Structure 1
């Protein structure tokens, strides 16, 4: 039976709240339709109507609205209602924050 410790664990890079928020965002982009929608919004200057998102990826408007709602809840996109239609755009900096959270922290000596 081994009683000595083989290594000393370091501090986690994320605290519990940060890990929960990141997991929510990763779950949101883990769906292929949501990932496609997010990529369309990311390359668009401005915003897109949910009807345009639905047509572009070949899903129904109610399904597209559901996927967009998940992206909004994850803090990746924002929604603006205009009459019958909802328009979506990426929240400035949200994708940069997501990418930064996935990169390991580099300690400068």
Structure 2
């Protein structure tokens, strides 16, 4: 018996998040021609746009860092930003698991440089 955590449920959830984001993007942008016929895939550019849109939504609601002169305490990320960040990370991981190549600025990591 192993003590390693099982990754499959997280991976499946990430793939579902990616599929949901792709479907929402296609419905919103009317990009149906971007879907590759018979394979259930979209063009890599669409996948990248989906990931970029997810990260842009995080950036849009992230407050500016506190001014050290007026607020010397540590910056606390609001819960809605943390939730949106987790969603964006799941989408990016799911897109990777589905085989899409993403720009490195869109990949989840310790220092997300998306924007």
Greater share of helix: 2
TM-score by length of 1: 0.31
Q: Report the structure number with the largest CA radius of gyration.
A: 1
Task: Give the TM-score of the pair, scaled to structure 2.
Answer: 0.30
- Work out which structure has the larger RCO, using CA pairs closer than 8 Å and 6 or more positions apart in sequence: 2
More strand by share: 1
